[in-house]
Amino acid sequence: MRRKLVAGNWKMNGSLEALAEVDGIAAAAKGANCDVALALPATLLLSAVERVGGSSVAIGAQDVHPAEKGAHTGCISAVMLKDAGASFTLVGHSERRADQGETDADVRAKAEAARRHGLAVILCVGETLAERDAGRAEAVVTGQLEGSLPEGAAAEWLSIAYEPVWAIGTGRTPTVADVAAMHGAIRAKLRELVGTEAEAMRLLYGGSVTGENAAELLDAGDVDGALVGGASLTAVKFVPIIEAPARLPVS
């Protein structure tokens, strides 16, 4: 039985003032029937950890550099994230794959660096609309997984987020059947790559998740949680999503 994980991704949003939202999210997370996490901008990590660290919400980063330290202007290492109190990081978000040209090999190196320094990892994969329209969605996603899965991948510290690029921030979502089919394909690929460890690994869906659609998406086959962008920025929008698992039929 995999406990669901609902993670928010604030992207390049949020100020110290906005941390009041984290208080509201942490309060609701105490009674939630799922794990709750927030990937915050680096500028807010330390303050958020001081505010709610060690409570019902895991505080993490959105990216990590593969090296420990050195001449990498503007980058942040896993050691530095740990030092700020982060407990996890995202890697391979499609916005970074597109904007920063991150390859599967880069993503894999980032995940391995995070693991070496004790951070949990949410590894993102997902196809573009052109790839889906060309009937290549499953091949693209399982290919990304194969190329970016870190050495020693284990459910204890690694989750996979399936985020179709065309569903991110657009208000469009795949059908529940399409999500279940892709998550099934991801689980099957994981079985090939990591054997029985695949059964325990959490697979999150991401892309325009809201309080309205969360329950049906979270109830889909092989969906063990959600990665939420826009709707994670305020407690009023995020709390209904973290409350959704409690409303699901017990499986």
Binds ligand PEP by CB under 6 A, chosen from 4, 5, 9, 65: 9
Q: How far apart are CA 222 and CA 149, in angstroms?
A: 18
**Cβ-based nearer residue to ligand PEP, 203 or 209:** 209
Which residues within the stretch 49-108 sit at the binding site for ligand PEP (CB under 6 A)?
Answer: none
Which CB, 174 or 230, lies closer to ligand PEP? 230
Q: Looking at beta carbons only, is 80 or 227 nearer to ligand PEP?
A: 227
Query: Which residues inside 190-209 make contact with ligand PEP, applying CB under 6 A?
Result: 206-209
* 48 makes contact with ligand PEP (CB under 6 A): no
Instruction: Give the residue numbers annotated as catalytic, written as ranges.
Output: 93, 163
Closer of 49 and 227 to ligand PEP (Cβ): 227
- Least Å distance, CB 90 to ligand PEP, is 8
Shortest Å, Cβ 163 to ligand PEP: 5
Site for ligand PEP in 129-168 (CB under 6 A): 163, 168
Count of residues binding ligand PEP (CB under 6 A)? 13
Of 53, 60, 164, 229, the one binding ligand PEP by CB under 6 A: 229
Comparing CA positions, the residue from 100, 151, 157, 92 lying closest to residue 125 is 92
Using CB under 6 A as the binding rule, whether residue 228 contacts ligand PEP is answered as yes
| Contact residues for ligand PEP, defined by CB under 6 A | 9, 163, 168-169, 206-209, 227-231
